[in-house]
Structure 1
């Protein structure tokens, strides 16, 4: 069990490091062109709430979904059931964005459920 947990932790760290390198190169090029890029991902070992994973890991994707999908929908109806449905719509976008594979669907459903709980 310890080996399995350690492997899961290290897979997350590798994924985060890959994003830091990719965002770092893109941010450097953006700064050369005087463009403000989103900050690099926050280290997943420092994230204590799962809702922070969506806010701080991929900041650009979160800002896009919040500004162009979630907020325009909440202007229509801002009730709690409406917000839960709009959250499902956002995770449907994530599912389509990352590819319509079975494992991405399961991952999106689990993430949506985790955030809503």
Structure 2
């Protein structure tokens, strides 16, 4: 609820400012992406203006294509070092920065592992639907990692521990599996929405080329 509240607050504030800016024929940053649609650390942000600035001048500048482990590590450390200074250095911000920095790098490590010969051949042997199901399962786990990591900064370490206990221990395994299943279905819906939007954008570009 804390994350949803924070997103709604940001969405309303950005919505008002964006509307006024558009009336002045400006091109303001897009509103924040809904927290329920986040299952990738690289897309986790509430303030797109700050995120765009950090990506342009720090993260992308240092990390390049974000395909190499060492440059990615340097890029994430530099980005979250600046973010820590921006938010105000304290223990909870240090922990939040470390966890999110780790999350970004861990995603790349998993991607590199998936590209490893034997695993790549296994995925290639799967159907498109099954490959998407496997990726959605990992996306569901990643979704809760994002939630837990950001609860640290938006609430407290004690509350985060309470949520973790509720998810992992209370009612295990029924409750845990039920939550993961619902999250998995949500990730599938988000991925389908992203696929649909990508197809619509591709069709729009094709029409523009024909015209």
Report the TM-score when normalising by structure 1: 0.77
Q: How many residues align?
A: 104
Unaligned runs of 5+ in 1: 1-9
Deviations 1:66-101 (A, max 9, x none): 1111333346xx853122112100011111111122
Superposition RMSD in Å: 1.9
2:52 paired with 1:63: yes
Give the 5 Å matches for 1:1-117.
10-54=1-45, 57-74=46-63, 79-117=68-106
Stretches of structure 2 lacking an aligned partner (at least 5 in a row)? 107-211
Residues 18-37 of structure 1: CA deviation (Å, up to 9, x unaligned): 10011112112211221111
In the alignment, what sits opposite 2:159? Answer: none
Poorly superposed stretches of 4+, deviation over 6 Å: none
Which structure has the higher relative contact order (CA within 8 Å, separation 6+)? 2
User: Computing the radius of gyration over CA atoms, which structure comes out larger, 1 or 2?
Assistant: 2
SS of 1:34 mapped into structure 2: coil
Instruction: Indicate how the Cα distance of structure 1 residues 25 and 95 shifts in structure 2: closer, same or farther if over 3 A, else same.
Output: same
Q: Normalising to structure 2: TM-score of the pair?
A: 0.45
The Cα offsets for residues 42-77 of structure 1, whole Å up to 9 and x where unpaired, read as 1111222233214xx4322221111111333346xx
C-alpha change, 1:11 and 1:86, in structure 2 (3 Å) is: same
